[in-house]
Each structure stands twice: as C-alpha cells, then as structure tokens.
Amino acid sequence: MTTLTVIRPRPEDVEGQPILRPLPSRECRSVGPFVFFDHMLPTRYAPGTGMNIRQHPHIGLSTLTYLFEGALQHKDSLGSDQVVQAGDVSWMTAGSAIAHVERTPQAIKARGFNLHGLQVWLASPKDHETGPGHYSHHPAASLPVSDNLGVHIRLIAGDGFCLRSPVPVLSPTLYAEVQMQTATTLLIADEHEERAVYVLEGEVQLDGEALEVNSLVVLPTGQEMTLYAESDCHLMVFGGAPLDGPRRINWNFVAS
C-alpha cells in the first residue's frame, strides 16, 4: 500500500473567525505553488456582526479567496473594491507590495449570515516576486465545470480534469472543487508533479485508504490515484509544479 502524507490541521482564530490551517506544517511546507491553506469553518454571524480583516500588506505571493457560503468585500491599495459572492474567485497578486482588507459587506451584515470558505496563498515564481500588483475578480459563472457520472468538478485555478480556469496563475497550478455522489470514483492523474486532497465533508477513500474529514493528504509524485466516495462527499484537489527554490514565510510575506 502506498504511504500517504496525512496532515491534520491545527485550529486557528482570525479576527474571531475559526479556521483550520493544514499548510504550512511540519510534515509539508508546500504543495506545488500552495504555501498556505486556510479553511474558514462554517460560522453563523448574528445580525450586526461579521468578519473584519484589517488592512495588512503582502509581498511575493498571490491570494485566492473562494467561498461556499456568504460574501466578503475586498478592497486594496490598487483601488479595487469588489464584493465576492459564494462561488466567485478573488485573486490578488502582491508583487513587490500590496495592502488589502477583507470584511463582511454591510448589506448582509445587517441581517446575519453564514460564512464558509477557503483562502490559499500561492508563492510567486522568482521572476514575479517583485513585479507589479494585480487584482482580478472571476464570477462563479466564468469558471469551467464538469459533470460526469455523479462527479461534479469546478476548476477554480490552473488546469486539470480536461478543464482550464481563466484565473491568471503564474505557474503550473491545479485547484479544483470536487463533489462526488455515493459510490462514484475519480481518477487523479499525474499531470501535475505535486498534488494533495483536502476533505471538507463525507466519507472517501484514496486507493482504498480512508481519509478523515478536515485532513490534507499529500499524494506521492508520479502516481495516478483513485478517489472512491463511500458517501456523498465534498473535497478540494490542488497542486502544481514544485516551487523554483525554497521560500521563507514571515507574517504575510513570502520570499525566496
């Protein structure tokens, strides 16, 4: 049986929002360009409350925010001001420096809401670390999807599963949301050198080995593997080309 690297994320709190953070960890510092993976756990906000991530800077990375429920308002030092709805992609490349805030839009804050989503950081290639900053918003309808034999895939960024996302990634990347019905299978090809699976919900096996909910599993290089859904399940598949050298992460900064 193949030995898998299994990461059980540590709990964190970001401005009152509970999260799980499997990357970075002692077991694995990165998967492809992904150096940071935050799972914003399902949270109910009462009327008049919400998430408020105060202004902070970034360098040397791109942030990608993707929500399953709720909405966030993104503002940054480039002048961007965008409400990000569930299913949209909020993509920000920091370059040499950018500052941004993410908070609950007033329209939903007043009535109360549920929030559930992910934010990941992708390290920029060395030749893009000090370039100009950039922000782009990609509505849910612009993302490619595949529905086949009970398996629904939405390609959030990069390419994979015969799909290509419009998000302007800077290196070979795979980032997909996968929903599987009971007793369905999905082949994870070896088209990307580094790959991982994060289980959001449900009972699922990877080449016969059961995966825990909220665990991140790093796949061995160069090996095709098959997911089997023992129940309806929801997970993320991600990875890409290895980083072009080691990275240091200090607070919100990533650099070679």
List residues forming the annotated binding site for Fe cation: 56, 58, 100, 102
Check: CB of residue 98 under 8 Å from CB of residue 78.
yes
Give the distance, in angstroms, between the CA of residue 207 and the centroid of all CA atoms in the same chain: 23
List residues forming the annotated binding site: 56, 58, 100, 102
